[in-house]
Amino acid sequence: MSLLSTRGLSKHFAGLTAVNDVDFDLPEGQIRALIGPNGAGKTTFVSMLCGRVELSSGVVMFEGRDISVLPAHKRIGLGLAYTFQITSVFGNLSVAENVALAARRRVKGAMVAQVVTEALGKVGLADRMEQNAADLSYGHQRLLEIAMGLAQAPKLLILDEPTQGLADSEISDFKALIRDLANSTTILLIEHNMNVVMELADFITVLDFGQVLAEGTPQDIRANAAVQAAYLGTV
Domain total for the chain?
1
Q: Residue 51 is part of which domain span? A: 1-69+192-235
Is residue 201 in some structural domain? yes
Is residue 33 in some structural domain? yes
Contact 55, 9 (CB under 8 A): yes
Q: CATH number for the domain including 213?
A: 3.40.50.300
**What pLDDT is stored for residue 232 in this prediction?**
52
Is residue 135 in some structural domain? no
3-state DSSP assignment of residue 100? helix
Is residue 217 in some structural domain? yes
Is residue 38 in some structural domain? yes
3-state DSSP assignment of residue 78? helix
Is residue 153 in some structural domain? no
**What pLDDT is stored for residue 195 in this prediction?**
93
**What pLDDT is stored for residue 233 in this prediction?**
62
**What pLDDT is stored for residue 1 in this prediction?**
74
Is residue 78 in some structural domain? no
Tens-of-pLDDT digits for all 235 residues of the chain? 799 999 999 999 988 999 999 999 999 999 999 999 988 999 999 999 999 999 999 999 999 999 999 999 999 999 999 986 556 799 999 999 999 999 998 899 999 999 999 999 999 999 999 999 999 988 889 899 999 999 999 999 999 888 888 888 889 989 999 999 999 999 999 998 999 999 999 999 999 999 999 999 999 999 999 998 887 565 4
Report the relative pairing of strands 186-190 and 31-35 from DSSP bridges: parallel
